[in-house]
Amino acid sequence: MKKHIKNNVYWVGKVDWELQKFHGYEYSTHKGSTYNSYLIQEEKTVLIDTVWAPFAEEFVKNLDGEIGLNKIDFVIANHGEVDHSGALPALMRRIPDKPVYCTENAVKSLKGQYHQDWNFKVVKTGDKIDIGNGKELIFLEMKMLHWPDSMATYLTRDNILFSNDAFGQHLATEKLFNDLVDQCDLFNESIKYYANILTPFSPVLRKKLGEVTELNLPIDIIATSHGVVWRENPAQIIEKYSQWSNDYQENQVTIVYDTMWNGTKSLAEKIAEGIGLADKDVVVKVCNLSKSDENDLATEVFKSKTAVIGSPTISNSILHSVAGFIHLLKELKFKGKKAAAFGCFGWSGESVKVINELMANAGFEVASEGFRNQWNPDKDALKAAIEFGRKIAGM
Ligand code: FEO
């Protein structure tokens, strides 16, 4: 069922309430998601993006029922990733000659995925299409935000920016608009989305935000491809992106560890105690990696000024859970953050050295030699862990 957004613009996407994992199993989506597709019905009828492939037939059937597919004059594919282009094959089987407007790189990504030679019309930044009633669509390439093929489309007079992935969140809702949903959910899902998907592209994003500002386009609504449509103060999410893309950090230290027989766990809790004793204002979070969601933890590290990573020594190295998590941090290319390491050991005790090397390689400033403890921590070792925490607070 289409939902009204503004004047002759409608949402025709799909709410995916039960989605729990995205990008295969790489990204947790505790609150589901939406695949937002938009219909503009001016003198020209335009479809912007589609939905993920499992919902293709449902999408095409609904759209046909709403307007009749032959009414569509052309399709805009802002991005070739399958969660937005997945229904194109089913749609284009029904309207094979209709133009598909997209970037040059999207022709490659769409052909590469679907092996179809649709009626592609390549556009670049600044290109415009007249859709009647005094309105135009203006294209804005968003290269590497987050694929080479990404772009946004701007609708004049209604002042709507169809931003595709940028400014989105994985949040299933029937409410559609940002002012109608729980604001904590909205903020938490927005920052998680930024931290886990967009952080590697922060330098590109900063440049693009500057370009968009220079264009001086009035933006009344940001219609993203996931989650809510920003109609109430859309500048708020642009401001957040500006903050998040500038080596973001809060006054927070996050301790992430895994443990075999709870020795390293005991150290984690005492280190947290020491940080709290030394700095009354800092937020300290202690997270057992094996009992937490990695994407939620990556978000906590994104918010932190320091990440303290713990693992016992096993086979002259560290637990693979910790190694995998540091690999995730490296992929995310966080900048301007410090790191420290800790862990228990029985005999050889390499874990702290290994963590330090991996964290340095992941782009963190290793600001301490770390803290090692042989066998289970006794009273003195726990006191030493508190002192180590105090030092971390002062780093
Ligand atoms: Fe890059 Fe939502 O797809």
pLDDT at residue 93 is higher than 90: yes
Q: What is the pLDDT of residue 266?
A: 98
Instruction: Supply the mean pLDDT for the chain.
Output: 97
For residue 92, what pLDDT band results from cuts at 50, 70 and 90? very high
Q: What is the pLDDT of residue 374?
A: 98
The region of weakest confidence among 26-40, 119-133, 178-192, 209-223 is: 209-223
pLDDT tens digit sequence for 137-160: 999 999 999 999 999 999 999 999
Of the CATH numbers 3.30.1360.120, 3.30.70.330, 3.40.190.10, 3.40.50.360, which one belongs to the domain with range 253-390?
3.40.50.360
User: Mean pLDDT across the stretch 323-345?
Assistant: 98
Q: What is the pLDDT of residue 197?
A: 96
- Distance in angstroms (rounded) separating the CA atoms of residues 277 and 275: 5
Question: Is residue 146 among the annotated active site residues?
Answer: yes
Question: Is residue 193 among the annotated active site residues?
Answer: yes
Question: Is residue 79 among the annotated active site residues?
Answer: yes
- Distance in angstroms (rounded) separating the CA atoms of residues 342 and 309: 6
pLDDT at residue 212 is higher than 90: no
User: Mean pLDDT across the stretch 240-246?
Assistant: 97
pLDDT tens digit sequence for 341-363: 999 999 999 999 999 999 999 99
- Ligand 1 atom 2: residue of nearest CA: 165
Asked if 131 contacts 106 with a C-beta cutoff of 8 angstroms, the reply is no
- 316 CA distance to ligand 1 middle (Å): 40
| Pairing status of strand 120-122 against strand 100-102 | parallel
CATH 3.40.50.360 spans which residues of the chain? Answer: 253-390
User: Mean pLDDT across the stretch 160-188?
Assistant: 98
- Ligand 1 atom 1: residue of nearest CA: 81
Q: Which residues line ligand 1 (CB under 6 A)?
A: 79, 81, 83-84, 146-147, 165, 225-226
Range list of H helices, 249-339:
263-278, 294-303, 320-332
Q: What is the pLDDT of residue 202?
A: 97
CATH 3.60.15.10 spans which residues of the chain? Answer: 3-244
- Ligand 1 atom 3: residue of nearest CA: 81
Residue of 73, 83, 141, 294 marked active site: 83
- 224 CA distance to ligand 1 middle (Å): 10
Q: Exposure pattern of 102-115 as b/e (b: 16+ CB <10 Å)?
A: bbebbbebbeebbe
- 198 CA distance to ligand 1 middle (Å): 11
User: Mean pLDDT across the stretch 205-219?
Assistant: 91
User: Mean pLDDT across the stretch 208-215?
Assistant: 88
Task: Report the nearest atom of ligand 1 relative to the CA of 165.
Answer: 2
pTM of the model: 0.96
Q: Is 3-244 a domain of CATH 3.40.1160.10?
A: no
Strand-pairing partners, residue 257, are 288, 310
Q: 237 in helix, strand or coil?
A: helix
pLDDT tens digit sequence for 273-313: 999 999 999 999 999 999 999 999 999 999 999 999 999 99
